[in-house]
Amino acid sequence: MPEVKDWTTDYDIFDPSYKKDPFPIWDEIRGQCPVAHSERWGGSFMPTRYEDLFNIARDITNFSSRNVLVTDFEAPPEGAVYEEPTQEDLAQYNVGAPPITSDPPVHTWARKLLLPPFSVTSVSKYEQETRELCAELVDGFIKNGHADGAADYAQQIPSRVIASMLGIPKEKAGEFTEWVRGFLELGLTDPVLRQESAINIFKYLNEQIQEHKANPGHDDLITYLLNAEVDGEPVPEGHVLGTCFLILVAGIDTTWSSIGSAIWHLAQHPEDRARLINEPELIDSAVEELLRAYSPVTMARYVANDTEYAGCPMSEGSKVLMNFPAANRDPSVFENPDKVILDREKNPHIAFGVGIHRCAGSNLARMEMKVSIQEWLKRIPEYHLENPDAVTWAGGQVRGPRLMPVAW
């Protein structure tokens, strides 16, 4: 890819500089041309002001969720060798990921089905287990005096919590992580890897669903979805599969990215570590502030009708990159937006989106962030980045550290 010379007309969300430090780029775009456009990766618009993200996310008539990934592409990277999916696989697994990929009316019942197991109360049932997992992870490396805060810690947490909720073996957590990265991170610029990863996830979940059908009576999400009824009818199995796919894909690298960014921030801010240790009651607002400052997720929308937004004509079929992370650094809404203020008073951040597609797993993500920060600081109150330049970032639609050596 040629170098980006003008971020307002030619941005590339996969550019290494964007992945590493997108904040000045967003400021530049917000200041010059708040709804930017780029032809790269199939073409897209990118709003960066809070108000614009707020408006577009809530306009579900013009901005559909039928496609929430930003890249469109034809050819796999040169030299790539993959197994071709069969037509049968493609047909069986063409179920979407409801309700994230749904518009009303399907969205309305699909969301109602999904939200109760992710309520604050439901999620709290997994808190103790998450706490034990975090403690065990830290105990595994604390004697070494160093670890990778992303790979050895953050990455290990959400995959296991999600496996436990779905009711699938936690031993597969490493594989889920690889598949989800293949679909959502590395797969965004590699269509064949993306498809291959999706089919792996669908196949595995389908096996698990069949197993749950044969052995009913478990207290887990797959059983809940299989037993659920909508208007007196059981939920179609393809829908159950699509929703399980969503839970796995959306619940893993997003939360892991947030946990990683929090550990990264705290590694460099002893004053914030001290505050969290001395004022433990700050944890909830600290989690919200870290979510604001390091929002991981940039969704996409599909322009459903020829429309115009803020003077920008957008034709049907165009993509809009929902840059919620940039909105959360908008100085017209957040005072001193580049500063992390753990007890920020006014923080209407939209890290989980806004409108009907508000992240269904937000309560789970918050719980995992809270517990993972608390358990880390309890055991490792003093630590630092071993080498700030060695930190690598995933970017594109989910941003967070992937390698982050820390020492204490």
Partner 1 sequence: MGRRPGPRAAIDAGGLVVVMKVKVDSEKCQGHNRCYAMAPGMFKVDELGYATPRGDGTLTPDKMALAQKAVDNCPERAIEIVDE
Contact residues for 397 (Cβ-Cβ < 8 A; gap 6+): 13, 69, 70, 184, 188, 297, 298, 299, 300
The residue within the footprint of partner 1, chosen from 9, 17, 189, 362 (CB under 8 A), is 362
Part in contact with partner 1 (CB under 8 A); list of ranges 69-77, 234-242, 293-301, 339-347: 339-347
Interface with partner 1 includes 116 (CB under 8 A)?
Answer: yes
**Residue range at the interface with partner 1 (CB under 8 A); choices 71-79, 93-101, 149-157, 341-349:** 341-349
Answer yes or no whether residue 288 interacts with partner 1 by CB under 8 A.
yes
Determine, following the binding rule CB under 8 A, whether residue 358 of this chain makes contact with partner 1: yes
**Single-letter amino acid, residue 175:** E
Q: Is 125 in the site for partner 1 (CB under 8 A)?
A: no
| 290 is a site residue for partner 1 (CB under 8 A) | no
| Segment interacting with partner 1 (CB under 8 A) among 92-100, 153-161, 263-271, 344-352 | 344-352
**Segment contacting partner 1 by CB under 8 A, of 66-74, 81-89, 110-118, 143-151:** 110-118
**Binding string, 36-65, against partner 1, x = CB under 8 A?**
--------------xx--------------
Among the listed residues 87, 121, 315, 336, the single contact to partner 1 using CB under 8 A: 121
Q: Which of 141, 139, 151, 134 shows the shortest CA–CA distance to 391? A: 151
Q: Of 164 and 363, which CB lies nearer to partner 1 in the complex structure?
A: 363
Measured from the CB atom, the residue of 135 and 356 that comes closer to partner 1 is 356
**CA 188 → CA 73, 120, 149, distances in Å?**
9, 32, 24
Angle at 341 between CA 283 and CA 364, to 5 degrees: 35
Distance, in Å, from the CA atom of 309 to the CA atom of 320, rounded to the nearest integer, reads 11
Query: Is 112 among the residues that bind partner 1 (CB under 8 A)?
Result: yes
DSSP letters for 51-86:
HHHHHHHH-TTTEE-S--------SPPTT---PPPP
From 116, 101, 109, 117, select the one nearest 232 (Cα to Cα): 109
CB of 79 vs partner 1, minimal distance in Å: 44
Residues 6 or more apart in contact with residue 218 via CB below 8 angstroms: 167, 212
**Residues 53/310, Cβ–Cβ less than 8 Å:** no
Q: What is the CA radius of gyration of the chain?
A: 21
Residue 255, both tokens: 């939360």
Looking at the Cβ atoms of 24 and 331, the one nearer to partner 1 is 331
Which residues contact partner 1 by CB under 8 A? 50-51, 111-112, 115-116, 119-122, 284-285, 288, 332-333, 345-350, 352, 354-356, 358, 362-363
